[in-house]
Chains A and B, each alone.
Chain A
Amino acid sequence: MIKDIIKKTKAYYCLDCGKCTAVCPVALFDGDFSPRRIVGETITREDKVLDDCRIWNCLTCKMCHERCPSDVNFIEFIRLLRVDARGEGKEGICSHGGAIQSLMKIMTAPNLNQKRLDWIRPDLKTSKDSEYLYFVGCLPYFDLFFSNIKANSLDIARSTLKILNLLRIEPQVLPNERCCGHDLLWSGDVENFKKLAQHNIAEFKKAGVKKIVLSCPEGYACFKSEYPNYLGKFDFEVVHISELLPDKLSSGEIKLKPVKGKVTYQDPCRLGRFSNIYDNPREIINSIPGIEFVEMKRSGKNAMCCGTSSWMNCTQYSKQIQLERLKEAKSTGAETLITFCPKCQIHFLCAQSEINYPEELKLKVIDLTTFLANALGGE
Protein backbone atom coordinates (compact mmCIF):
# COMPACT_ATOMS: atom_id res chain seq x y z
CA MET A 1 0.00 0.00 0.00
CA ILE A 2 1.38 3.34 -1.01
CA LYS A 3 -0.08 5.04 2.05
CA ASP A 4 1.89 2.68 4.25
CA ILE A 5 5.07 3.37 2.31
CA ILE A 6 4.59 7.12 2.79
CA LYS A 7 4.06 6.59 6.47
CA LYS A 8 6.87 4.16 7.01
CA THR A 9 9.48 6.31 5.31
CA LYS A 10 8.15 9.58 6.75
CA ALA A 11 7.66 10.94 3.26
CA TYR A 12 4.76 13.06 4.55
CA TYR A 13 7.30 15.14 6.45
CA CYS A 14 8.73 16.36 3.15
CA LEU A 15 9.16 20.13 3.17
CA ASP A 16 9.55 20.39 -0.56
CA CYS A 17 12.90 22.04 0.05
CA GLY A 18 14.68 20.38 -2.86
CA LYS A 19 17.92 19.62 -1.02
CA CYS A 20 17.65 16.01 -2.19
CA THR A 21 17.41 16.96 -5.84
CA ALA A 22 20.24 19.44 -5.44
CA VAL A 23 22.67 16.70 -4.38
CA CYS A 24 21.28 13.83 -6.44
CA PRO A 25 23.79 12.62 -9.05
CA VAL A 26 21.01 11.46 -11.40
CA ALA A 27 19.20 14.80 -11.20
CA LEU A 28 22.47 16.50 -12.03
CA PHE A 29 22.18 15.17 -15.58
CA ASP A 30 18.61 13.95 -16.02
CA GLY A 31 16.27 16.90 -15.89
CA ASP A 32 13.28 14.56 -15.62
CA PHE A 33 14.49 13.02 -12.41
CA SER A 34 13.90 14.66 -9.07
CA PRO A 35 13.51 12.88 -5.72
CA ARG A 36 11.65 15.95 -4.43
CA ARG A 37 9.09 15.69 -7.20
CA ILE A 38 8.75 11.93 -6.86
CA VAL A 39 7.94 12.35 -3.17
CA GLY A 40 5.54 15.21 -3.82
CA GLU A 41 3.75 13.50 -6.69
CA THR A 42 3.43 10.26 -4.79
CA ILE A 43 1.78 12.01 -1.89
CA THR A 44 -0.70 13.80 -4.12
CA ARG A 45 -1.29 11.17 -6.81
CA GLU A 46 -0.63 7.87 -5.14
CA ASP A 47 -2.08 5.72 -7.90
CA LYS A 48 0.23 6.92 -10.65
CA VAL A 49 3.64 6.42 -9.13
CA LEU A 50 3.98 2.70 -9.81
CA ASP A 51 3.71 3.31 -13.54
CA ASP A 52 6.42 5.89 -13.37
CA CYS A 53 9.60 4.53 -14.93
CA ARG A 54 11.62 7.06 -12.95
CA ILE A 55 11.36 4.97 -9.81
CA TRP A 56 13.86 2.58 -11.39
CA ASN A 57 16.42 5.31 -12.10
CA CYS A 58 17.33 6.08 -8.50
CA LEU A 59 20.76 4.69 -7.60
CA THR A 60 19.79 4.24 -3.93
CA CYS A 61 23.07 5.98 -3.14
CA LYS A 62 21.58 7.61 -0.03
CA MET A 63 23.00 11.03 -0.76
CA CYS A 64 19.53 12.60 -0.55
CA HIS A 65 18.70 10.97 2.76
CA GLU A 66 21.99 12.22 4.14
CA ARG A 67 20.88 15.80 3.43
CA CYS A 68 17.15 15.69 4.05
CA PRO A 69 16.20 18.01 6.94
CA SER A 70 13.05 15.95 7.56
CA ASP A 71 14.78 12.58 7.59
CA VAL A 72 12.67 11.27 4.72
CA ASN A 73 14.06 7.82 3.99
CA PHE A 74 13.96 8.21 0.24
CA ILE A 75 15.88 5.07 -0.67
CA GLU A 76 13.58 2.88 1.41
CA PHE A 77 10.66 4.75 -0.12
CA ILE A 78 11.92 3.90 -3.61
CA ARG A 79 12.68 0.32 -2.67
CA LEU A 80 9.19 -0.28 -1.30
CA LEU A 81 7.62 1.34 -4.35
CA ARG A 82 9.67 -1.04 -6.48
CA VAL A 83 8.33 -4.01 -4.51
CA ASP A 84 4.77 -2.86 -5.21
CA ALA A 85 5.50 -2.04 -8.85
CA ARG A 86 7.03 -5.47 -9.33
CA GLY A 87 3.85 -6.92 -7.90
CA GLU A 88 2.10 -5.28 -10.85
CA GLY A 89 4.52 -6.87 -13.28
CA LYS A 90 6.79 -3.87 -13.79
CA GLU A 91 10.52 -3.80 -13.52
CA GLY A 92 13.60 -1.75 -14.34
CA ILE A 93 15.65 -2.14 -17.48
CA CYS A 94 18.20 -4.88 -16.90
CA SER A 95 21.72 -4.07 -18.00
CA HIS A 96 23.71 -6.66 -19.94
CA GLY A 97 20.57 -8.24 -21.36
CA GLY A 98 19.55 -9.43 -17.92
CA ALA A 99 22.43 -11.91 -17.68
CA ILE A 100 23.28 -10.96 -14.12
CA GLN A 101 19.65 -11.07 -13.03
CA SER A 102 19.51 -14.59 -14.48
CA LEU A 103 22.63 -15.57 -12.55
CA MET A 104 21.03 -14.34 -9.34
CA LYS A 105 17.79 -16.18 -10.00
CA ILE A 106 19.60 -19.34 -11.02
CA MET A 107 21.33 -19.26 -7.66
CA THR A 108 17.97 -19.64 -5.93
CA ALA A 109 17.96 -23.28 -7.09
CA PRO A 110 18.22 -25.48 -4.01
CA ASN A 111 20.37 -28.19 -5.59
CA LEU A 112 23.18 -26.15 -7.10
CA ASN A 113 26.59 -27.67 -7.26
CA GLN A 114 28.78 -24.71 -8.16
CA LYS A 115 32.39 -24.98 -9.23
CA ARG A 116 33.44 -21.59 -8.02
CA LEU A 117 36.67 -22.22 -6.11
CA ASP A 118 39.14 -22.60 -8.96
CA TRP A 119 40.63 -19.18 -8.19
CA ILE A 120 42.21 -20.28 -4.92
CA ARG A 121 45.92 -20.59 -5.68
CA PRO A 122 47.89 -23.22 -3.75
CA ASP A 123 49.76 -20.53 -1.78
CA LEU A 124 46.47 -19.23 -0.38
CA LYS A 125 45.32 -21.12 2.68
CA THR A 126 41.75 -22.02 3.53
CA SER A 127 40.43 -24.56 5.98
CA LYS A 128 37.41 -26.73 6.45
CA ASP A 129 36.78 -26.01 10.10
CA SER A 130 37.72 -22.40 10.78
CA GLU A 131 35.20 -20.30 12.65
CA TYR A 132 35.89 -17.67 10.00
CA LEU A 133 34.24 -17.67 6.63
CA TYR A 134 35.36 -15.53 3.74
CA PHE A 135 32.21 -14.72 1.79
CA VAL A 136 33.43 -14.20 -1.75
CA GLY A 137 30.11 -13.16 -3.25
CA CYS A 138 29.72 -12.79 -6.98
CA LEU A 139 33.40 -12.14 -7.74
CA PRO A 140 33.97 -15.34 -9.75
CA TYR A 141 31.03 -14.42 -11.95
CA PHE A 142 32.04 -10.77 -12.35
CA ASP A 143 35.61 -11.76 -13.19
CA LEU A 144 34.35 -13.81 -16.10
CA PHE A 145 31.52 -11.63 -17.23
CA PHE A 146 33.59 -8.47 -17.25
CA SER A 147 36.74 -9.99 -18.71
CA ASN A 148 36.22 -7.73 -21.75
CA ILE A 149 37.04 -4.67 -19.65
CA LYS A 150 39.72 -6.55 -17.70
CA ALA A 151 37.93 -6.13 -14.40
CA ASN A 152 39.89 -9.05 -12.90
CA SER A 153 37.43 -9.05 -10.02
CA LEU A 154 38.95 -12.21 -8.56
CA ASP A 155 42.11 -10.25 -7.72
CA ILE A 156 40.01 -8.86 -4.89
CA ALA A 157 39.28 -12.36 -3.61
CA ARG A 158 42.89 -13.49 -3.88
CA SER A 159 44.12 -10.33 -2.18
CA THR A 160 41.60 -10.67 0.63
CA LEU A 161 42.64 -14.25 1.24
CA LYS A 162 46.30 -13.25 1.19
CA ILE A 163 45.62 -10.52 3.77
CA LEU A 164 43.59 -12.88 5.93
CA ASN A 165 46.36 -15.48 5.83
CA LEU A 166 48.79 -12.82 6.98
CA LEU A 167 46.49 -12.13 9.91
CA ARG A 168 46.75 -15.88 10.62
CA ILE A 169 43.21 -16.50 9.51
CA GLU A 170 42.69 -19.47 7.22
CA PRO A 171 38.98 -19.08 6.59
CA GLN A 172 36.48 -21.46 5.13
CA VAL A 173 35.44 -20.62 1.59
CA LEU A 174 32.20 -22.28 0.58
CA PRO A 175 31.58 -23.85 -2.82
CA ASN A 176 27.87 -23.26 -2.58
CA GLU A 177 27.41 -19.85 -1.10
CA ARG A 178 24.93 -17.86 -3.19
CA CYS A 179 24.74 -14.29 -4.29
CA CYS A 180 23.87 -12.29 -1.15
CA GLY A 181 20.67 -11.04 -2.81
CA HIS A 182 21.42 -7.35 -2.34
CA ASP A 183 20.54 -6.39 -5.90
CA LEU A 184 17.36 -8.40 -6.03
CA LEU A 185 16.21 -6.75 -2.83
CA TRP A 186 16.97 -3.25 -4.09
CA SER A 187 15.17 -3.96 -7.33
CA GLY A 188 12.10 -4.98 -5.40
CA ASP A 189 12.34 -8.76 -5.72
CA VAL A 190 11.88 -9.71 -2.08
CA GLU A 191 10.82 -13.28 -2.83
CA ASN A 192 14.03 -14.27 -4.57
CA PHE A 193 16.13 -12.23 -2.15
CA LYS A 194 14.72 -14.31 0.68
CA LYS A 195 15.43 -17.56 -1.13
CA LEU A 196 19.07 -16.61 -1.61
CA ALA A 197 19.34 -15.50 2.01
CA GLN A 198 17.85 -18.76 3.27
CA HIS A 199 20.28 -20.81 1.20
CA ASN A 200 23.20 -18.76 2.48
CA ILE A 201 22.17 -19.05 6.10
CA ALA A 202 21.76 -22.81 5.69
CA GLU A 203 25.26 -23.03 4.18
CA PHE A 204 26.76 -20.94 7.00
CA LYS A 205 25.11 -23.11 9.62
CA LYS A 206 26.21 -26.31 7.94
CA ALA A 207 29.80 -25.02 7.85
CA GLY A 208 29.59 -24.12 11.53
CA VAL A 209 31.14 -20.67 11.07
CA LYS A 210 30.79 -17.82 13.54
CA LYS A 211 32.41 -14.87 11.81
CA ILE A 212 31.84 -13.84 8.24
CA VAL A 213 34.46 -11.66 6.56
CA LEU A 214 33.52 -9.79 3.41
CA SER A 215 35.43 -7.74 0.89
CA CYS A 216 32.21 -6.53 -0.75
CA PRO A 217 30.40 -3.60 0.90
CA GLU A 218 27.05 -4.57 -0.56
CA GLY A 219 27.21 -8.05 0.90
CA TYR A 220 28.39 -6.54 4.17
CA ALA A 221 25.55 -4.03 4.42
CA CYS A 222 23.10 -6.71 3.35
CA PHE A 223 24.18 -9.24 6.01
CA LYS A 224 24.37 -6.56 8.66
CA SER A 225 20.92 -5.12 8.23
CA GLU A 226 18.76 -6.80 5.59
CA TYR A 227 19.22 -10.42 6.63
CA PRO A 228 18.12 -9.68 10.21
CA ASN A 229 15.32 -7.43 8.90
CA TYR A 230 13.86 -10.07 6.66
CA LEU A 231 14.83 -13.36 8.27
CA GLY A 232 15.05 -12.59 11.93
CA LYS A 233 18.09 -13.28 14.04
CA PHE A 234 21.34 -13.56 12.10
CA ASP A 235 23.68 -15.38 14.43
CA PHE A 236 26.95 -14.49 12.82
CA GLU A 237 29.43 -11.73 13.38
CA VAL A 238 29.73 -9.75 10.17
CA VAL A 239 33.13 -8.21 9.53
CA HIS A 240 34.34 -6.09 6.68
CA ILE A 241 37.97 -6.73 5.77
CA SER A 242 38.77 -3.07 6.44
CA GLU A 243 37.75 -3.49 10.07
CA LEU A 244 40.46 -6.07 10.66
CA LEU A 245 43.34 -4.00 9.37
CA PRO A 246 44.05 -0.57 10.91
CA ASP A 247 45.20 -1.95 14.31
CA LYS A 248 47.54 -4.45 12.75
CA LEU A 249 48.96 -1.84 10.42
CA SER A 250 49.57 0.82 13.07
CA SER A 251 51.13 -1.68 15.47
CA GLY A 252 53.56 -2.67 12.75
CA GLU A 253 52.38 -6.27 12.89
CA ILE A 254 51.83 -6.10 9.15
CA LYS A 255 54.82 -4.73 7.30
CA LEU A 256 54.42 -2.90 4.03
CA LYS A 257 56.90 -2.09 1.33
CA PRO A 258 56.91 1.41 -0.09
CA VAL A 259 54.72 2.19 -3.07
CA LYS A 260 55.26 5.42 -4.95
CA GLY A 261 52.35 7.38 -6.30
CA LYS A 262 49.46 9.72 -5.79
CA VAL A 263 46.10 8.11 -5.15
CA THR A 264 42.54 9.10 -4.38
CA TYR A 265 39.65 7.08 -2.95
CA GLN A 266 36.06 6.42 -3.95
CA ASP A 267 33.80 5.79 -0.94
CA PRO A 268 31.33 3.06 -1.90
CA CYS A 269 27.82 4.02 -0.79
CA ARG A 270 27.26 0.72 1.05
CA LEU A 271 30.46 1.14 3.04
CA GLY A 272 30.27 4.90 3.61
CA ARG A 273 26.75 6.26 3.91
CA PHE A 274 25.21 2.85 4.69
CA SER A 275 27.78 1.52 7.16
CA ASN A 276 29.62 4.60 8.33
CA ILE A 277 33.02 3.20 7.49
CA TYR A 278 35.01 6.20 6.30
CA ASP A 279 38.21 6.22 8.34
CA ASN A 280 39.43 2.64 8.05
CA PRO A 281 40.06 2.69 4.31
CA ARG A 282 41.89 6.00 4.65
CA GLU A 283 44.04 4.66 7.48
CA ILE A 284 44.90 1.66 5.36
CA ILE A 285 45.92 3.81 2.41
CA ASN A 286 47.93 6.18 4.57
CA SER A 287 49.81 3.34 6.22
CA ILE A 288 51.46 2.43 2.92
CA PRO A 289 54.85 4.15 2.89
CA GLY A 290 55.53 6.41 -0.07
CA ILE A 291 51.87 6.92 -0.92
CA GLU A 292 50.52 10.40 -1.35
CA PHE A 293 46.79 10.35 -0.63
CA VAL A 294 44.54 13.15 -1.87
CA GLU A 295 40.80 13.54 -1.34
CA MET A 296 38.37 14.35 -4.06
CA LYS A 297 36.25 17.43 -3.55
CA ARG A 298 33.19 15.30 -2.85
CA SER A 299 34.34 12.60 -0.45
CA GLY A 300 33.25 10.76 2.65
CA LYS A 301 29.57 11.45 3.33
CA ASN A 302 29.43 13.55 0.17
CA ALA A 303 31.05 11.04 -2.14
CA MET A 304 29.42 10.81 -5.52
CA CYS A 305 28.00 7.47 -6.64
CA CYS A 306 29.67 5.37 -9.35
CA GLY A 307 26.61 5.80 -11.54
CA THR A 308 24.75 2.48 -11.70
CA SER A 309 23.26 0.14 -9.16
CA SER A 310 21.66 -3.30 -9.07
CA TRP A 311 22.64 -3.89 -12.70
CA MET A 312 19.73 -1.95 -14.04
CA ASN A 313 18.87 1.29 -15.77
CA CYS A 314 22.42 1.94 -16.87
CA THR A 315 21.68 4.95 -19.03
CA GLN A 316 23.51 7.81 -20.70
CA TYR A 317 23.16 9.57 -17.34
CA SER A 318 25.11 6.77 -15.69
CA LYS A 319 27.91 7.41 -18.14
CA GLN A 320 27.75 11.14 -17.47
CA ILE A 321 27.92 10.56 -13.72
CA GLN A 322 30.91 8.27 -14.17
CA LEU A 323 32.68 10.76 -16.40
CA GLU A 324 32.02 13.56 -13.91
CA ARG A 325 33.42 11.47 -11.09
CA LEU A 326 36.47 10.37 -13.06
CA LYS A 327 37.17 14.00 -13.97
CA GLU A 328 36.98 14.88 -10.30
CA ALA A 329 39.38 12.06 -9.43
CA LYS A 330 41.77 13.11 -12.15
CA SER A 331 41.68 16.75 -11.08
CA THR A 332 43.25 15.79 -7.74
CA GLY A 333 46.41 14.97 -9.65
CA ALA A 334 46.16 11.31 -8.65
CA GLU A 335 47.11 8.67 -11.16
CA THR A 336 45.24 5.92 -9.35
CA LEU A 337 41.64 5.79 -8.21
CA ILE A 338 41.25 3.34 -5.36
CA THR A 339 37.81 1.75 -5.17
CA PHE A 340 36.55 -0.54 -2.44
CA CYS A 341 33.57 -2.15 -4.10
CA PRO A 342 33.91 -4.54 -7.05
CA LYS A 343 31.09 -2.75 -8.83
CA CYS A 344 32.54 0.75 -8.50
CA GLN A 345 35.66 -0.68 -10.10
CA ILE A 346 33.69 -2.32 -12.91
CA HIS A 347 31.67 0.85 -13.57
CA PHE A 348 34.68 3.14 -13.75
CA LEU A 349 36.58 0.69 -15.95
CA CYS A 350 33.56 0.39 -18.20
CA ALA A 351 33.26 4.17 -18.52
CA GLN A 352 36.94 4.38 -19.45
CA SER A 353 36.55 1.69 -22.09
CA GLU A 354 34.11 3.83 -24.10
CA ILE A 355 35.48 4.54 -27.52
CA ASN A 356 35.42 8.32 -27.10
CA TYR A 357 36.74 8.42 -23.55
CA PRO A 358 39.44 11.12 -23.44
CA GLU A 359 42.94 9.73 -23.11
CA GLU A 360 43.99 12.55 -20.77
CA LEU A 361 41.37 11.45 -18.22
CA LYS A 362 42.57 7.86 -17.98
CA LEU A 363 43.18 6.61 -14.47
CA LYS A 364 44.23 3.31 -13.00
CA VAL A 365 41.28 1.87 -11.07
CA ILE A 366 42.18 -0.66 -8.41
CA ASP A 367 40.42 -2.13 -5.41
CA LEU A 368 41.92 -1.33 -2.01
CA THR A 369 42.38 -5.02 -1.15
CA THR A 370 44.47 -5.52 -4.27
CA PHE A 371 46.34 -2.29 -3.71
CA LEU A 372 47.22 -3.33 -0.17
CA ALA A 373 48.10 -6.89 -1.15
CA ASN A 374 50.56 -5.51 -3.71
CA ALA A 375 52.24 -3.51 -0.96
CA LEU A 376 52.63 -6.71 1.06
CA GLY A 377 55.06 -7.98 -1.52
CA GLY A 378 55.30 -11.55 -2.73
CA GLU A 379 52.94 -12.75 -5.40
Chain B
Amino acid sequence: MSEEKKDFKPKVVAFACHWCGVGKNEINAVEDFPDFKLIKLMCSGRINSALILKAFEKGADGIIAFGCPEGKCHYNFGNRNAAEEYKIAQSLIHLLGIEPKRLRLELDFFSEDGKLDSVIKEFVGGIRKIGPSPLRLINENK
Protein backbone atom coordinates (compact mmCIF):
# COMPACT_ATOMS: atom_id res chain seq x y z
CA MET B 1 0.00 0.00 0.00
CA SER B 2 2.67 2.50 1.02
CA GLU B 3 4.62 1.46 -2.06
CA GLU B 4 1.66 2.42 -4.22
CA LYS B 5 1.50 5.80 -2.63
CA LYS B 6 5.14 6.42 -3.40
CA ASP B 7 4.41 6.01 -7.09
CA PHE B 8 1.36 8.16 -6.80
CA LYS B 9 1.72 11.48 -8.61
CA PRO B 10 -1.02 13.71 -7.29
CA LYS B 11 -2.89 15.79 -9.82
CA VAL B 12 -3.34 19.14 -8.16
CA VAL B 13 -5.21 22.15 -9.47
CA ALA B 14 -4.53 25.61 -8.06
CA PHE B 15 -6.96 28.41 -8.76
CA ALA B 16 -5.15 31.64 -8.04
CA CYS B 17 -6.16 35.26 -8.02
CA HIS B 18 -3.78 37.26 -10.18
CA TRP B 19 -3.40 40.00 -7.57
CA CYS B 20 -2.69 38.02 -4.46
CA GLY B 21 0.88 37.40 -5.51
CA VAL B 22 0.67 33.86 -6.75
CA GLY B 23 2.78 34.73 -9.78
CA LYS B 24 4.34 32.01 -11.83
CA ASN B 25 7.90 32.95 -10.94
CA GLU B 26 7.13 32.46 -7.31
CA ILE B 27 5.94 28.91 -7.46
CA ASN B 28 9.23 27.09 -7.44
CA ALA B 29 7.65 24.13 -5.80
CA VAL B 30 5.73 23.46 -9.00
CA GLU B 31 8.78 21.92 -10.60
CA ASP B 32 8.59 19.07 -8.14
CA PHE B 33 5.04 18.26 -9.20
CA PRO B 34 4.58 17.56 -12.86
CA ASP B 35 0.83 17.18 -12.47
CA PHE B 36 0.31 20.59 -10.96
CA LYS B 37 -1.97 22.89 -12.88
CA LEU B 38 -2.08 26.59 -12.10
CA ILE B 39 -5.20 28.36 -13.28
CA LYS B 40 -4.95 32.11 -12.91
CA LEU B 41 -8.07 34.16 -12.33
CA MET B 42 -8.48 37.90 -12.16
CA CYS B 43 -10.04 37.50 -8.73
CA SER B 44 -10.86 34.64 -6.40
CA GLY B 45 -14.48 35.76 -6.80
CA ARG B 46 -14.49 33.73 -10.02
CA ILE B 47 -14.16 30.52 -8.03
CA ASN B 48 -17.40 28.68 -7.54
CA SER B 49 -18.54 25.22 -6.62
CA ALA B 50 -19.08 24.41 -10.31
CA LEU B 51 -15.37 24.93 -11.08
CA ILE B 52 -14.34 22.93 -8.07
CA LEU B 53 -16.68 20.03 -8.87
CA LYS B 54 -15.58 20.08 -12.50
CA ALA B 55 -11.94 19.71 -11.48
CA PHE B 56 -12.82 16.78 -9.22
CA GLU B 57 -14.95 15.26 -11.96
CA LYS B 58 -11.97 15.46 -14.31
CA GLY B 59 -9.84 13.54 -11.85
CA ALA B 60 -8.06 16.14 -9.70
CA ASP B 61 -6.71 14.63 -6.48
CA GLY B 62 -6.58 17.97 -4.76
CA ILE B 63 -7.70 21.55 -5.34
CA ILE B 64 -6.22 24.60 -3.68
CA ALA B 65 -7.42 28.14 -4.26
CA PHE B 66 -5.71 31.43 -3.49
CA GLY B 67 -7.16 34.88 -3.05
CA CYS B 68 -6.35 38.20 -1.44
CA PRO B 69 -6.77 38.68 2.32
CA GLU B 70 -9.94 40.05 3.87
CA GLY B 71 -10.36 43.71 2.96
CA LYS B 72 -7.70 43.53 0.24
CA CYS B 73 -9.65 42.15 -2.73
CA HIS B 74 -9.17 44.44 -5.74
CA TYR B 75 -12.83 44.07 -6.59
CA ASN B 76 -14.00 44.64 -3.07
CA PHE B 77 -16.04 41.51 -2.33
CA GLY B 78 -14.56 38.80 -4.59
CA ASN B 79 -12.80 36.97 -1.81
CA ARG B 80 -15.95 37.00 0.31
CA ASN B 81 -17.81 35.35 -2.56
CA ALA B 82 -15.00 32.84 -2.83
CA ALA B 83 -15.31 32.02 0.86
CA GLU B 84 -19.06 31.47 0.53
CA GLU B 85 -18.72 29.29 -2.53
CA TYR B 86 -15.94 27.38 -0.85
CA LYS B 87 -18.25 26.54 2.04
CA ILE B 88 -20.87 25.16 -0.34
CA ALA B 89 -18.25 23.18 -2.23
CA GLN B 90 -16.92 21.77 1.05
CA SER B 91 -20.37 20.57 2.01
CA LEU B 92 -21.00 19.11 -1.43
CA ILE B 93 -17.79 17.13 -1.42
CA HIS B 94 -18.61 15.95 2.07
CA LEU B 95 -21.90 14.54 0.74
CA LEU B 96 -20.04 12.91 -2.11
CA GLY B 97 -17.63 11.32 0.34
CA ILE B 98 -14.57 13.09 -1.01
CA GLU B 99 -12.01 13.63 1.77
CA PRO B 100 -12.14 17.24 3.07
CA LYS B 101 -8.34 17.54 2.87
CA ARG B 102 -8.52 17.48 -0.91
CA LEU B 103 -9.90 21.01 -0.96
CA ARG B 104 -8.37 24.14 0.54
CA LEU B 105 -8.87 27.88 0.26
CA GLU B 106 -6.06 30.24 1.22
CA LEU B 107 -7.14 33.83 1.63
CA ASP B 108 -4.66 35.00 4.17
CA PHE B 109 -1.44 35.93 2.55
CA PHE B 110 0.17 38.15 -0.02
CA SER B 111 3.41 37.09 -1.58
CA GLU B 112 5.80 36.48 1.21
CA ASP B 113 8.98 34.95 -0.03
CA GLY B 114 8.90 31.22 0.00
CA LYS B 115 5.65 30.95 1.89
CA LEU B 116 3.69 29.92 -1.15
CA ASP B 117 6.09 27.11 -1.91
CA SER B 118 5.74 25.73 1.54
CA VAL B 119 1.94 25.94 1.47
CA ILE B 120 1.80 24.07 -1.79
CA LYS B 121 4.34 21.51 -0.66
CA GLU B 122 2.38 20.89 2.48
CA PHE B 123 -0.91 20.61 0.58
CA VAL B 124 0.48 18.20 -1.98
CA GLY B 125 2.15 16.25 0.82
CA GLY B 126 -1.27 15.86 2.43
CA ILE B 127 -2.77 14.61 -0.83
CA ARG B 128 0.08 12.10 -1.18
CA LYS B 129 -0.90 10.67 2.18
CA ILE B 130 -4.58 10.24 1.25
CA GLY B 131 -3.83 8.74 -2.14
CA PRO B 132 -5.62 9.09 -5.45
CA SER B 133 -9.12 10.51 -5.63
CA PRO B 134 -11.91 7.94 -5.76
CA LEU B 135 -13.20 9.84 -8.81
CA ARG B 136 -10.20 8.99 -10.94
CA LEU B 137 -12.05 5.83 -11.91
CA ILE B 138 -14.71 7.84 -13.76
CA ASN B 139 -12.10 8.83 -16.28
CA GLU B 140 -10.09 5.63 -16.32
CA ASN B 141 -13.15 3.62 -17.33
CA LYS B 142 -13.34 5.45 -20.59
Q: Residues on A close to B: CB < 8 A?
A: 96-99, 102-103, 105-116, 140-141, 144-145, 147
Indicate the member of A98, A105, A109 with the most B CB atoms within 10 Å: A109
Having A99-B53, A106-B57, A112-B97, one finds 19 other A-B pairs with CB under 8 Å, namely A97-B49, A98-B50, A98-B54, A99-B50, A102-B53, A102-B54, A106-B56, A106-B135, A106-B138, A109-B134, A109-B137, A109-B138, A111-B137, A112-B96, A114-B97, A115-B97, A116-B95, A144-B91, A144-B95
A350 CB to closest chain B CB (Å) equals: 16
Report whether B53 and A141 are in contact in the complex, using a CB–CB cutoff of 8 Å: no
The 3 closest A-B pairs by CB, nearest first: A97-B50, A99-B50, A102-B53
Collect the chain B residues with CB atoms within 8 Å of residue A141's CB. 92, 95
Instruction: Tell me, yes or no, whether B88 is within 8 Å of chain A by CB.
Output: yes
Alpha-carbon distance between A108 and B134 when the two chains are bound, in angstroms: 11
In the complex, the answer to whether A97 meets B51 with C-beta atoms within 8 Å is yes
Residues from chain B with a CB closer than 8 A to the CB of A109 are 134-135, 137-138
- Knowing A115-B97, A144-B91, the reply to whether A102 touches B50 (Cβ < 8 A) is yes
Q: Whole-angstrom distance between the alpha carbons of A107 and B91 in the complex? A: 16
Tell me the B residues contacting A by CB distance below 8 Å. 48-51, 53-54, 56-57, 88, 91-92, 94-97, 134-135, 137-138, 141
Known contacts: A97-B50, A144-B95. The answer to whether A112 contacts B134 by CB under 8 A is yes
Which residue of B88, B94, B137 contacts A115 across the interface (Cβ within 8 Å)?
B94
Main secondary structure of the interface of B (DSSP, over half): helix
| Residue on A nearest B56 in the bound complex, by CB | A106
Decide if the interface of chain A is mainly helix, strand, loop or mixed: helix
Residues in B neighbouring A145, C-beta threshold 8 A: 49, 88, 92
Question: What is the minimal beta-carbon distance from B44 to any residue of chain A, in angstroms?
Answer: 15
Which residues of chain A come closer than 8 Å to B137, judged between CB atoms? 109-111
Report whether A144 and B96 are in contact in the complex, using a CB–CB cutoff of 8 Å.
no
**Minimum distance in angstroms from A149 CB to a CB of chain B:** 13
Task: Determine whether the beta carbon of B134 is less than 8 Å from that of A113.
Answer: yes
Q: How many Å from the CB of B137 to the closest CB on chain A?
A: 5
For A110, the chain B residues whose CB sits under 8 A away are: 137, 141
Chain B residues, Cβ within 8 Å of A99: 48-50, 53-54
Q: Which residues on B sit within 8 Å (CB–CB) of A97? A: 48-51
Chain B: CB-nearest residue to A94: B50
- Known contacts A102-B57, A144-B88; is-contact A114 B95 (Cβ 8 Å): yes
Closest residue on chain A to residue B92 by CB atoms: A144
Q: Hey, which chain A residues are within 8 Å of B141, CB to CB?
A: 110
Contact call B138/A102, Cβ cutoff below 8 A: no
Contacts A112-B97, A114-B96; is A106 near B53 (CB within 8 Å)? Answer: yes
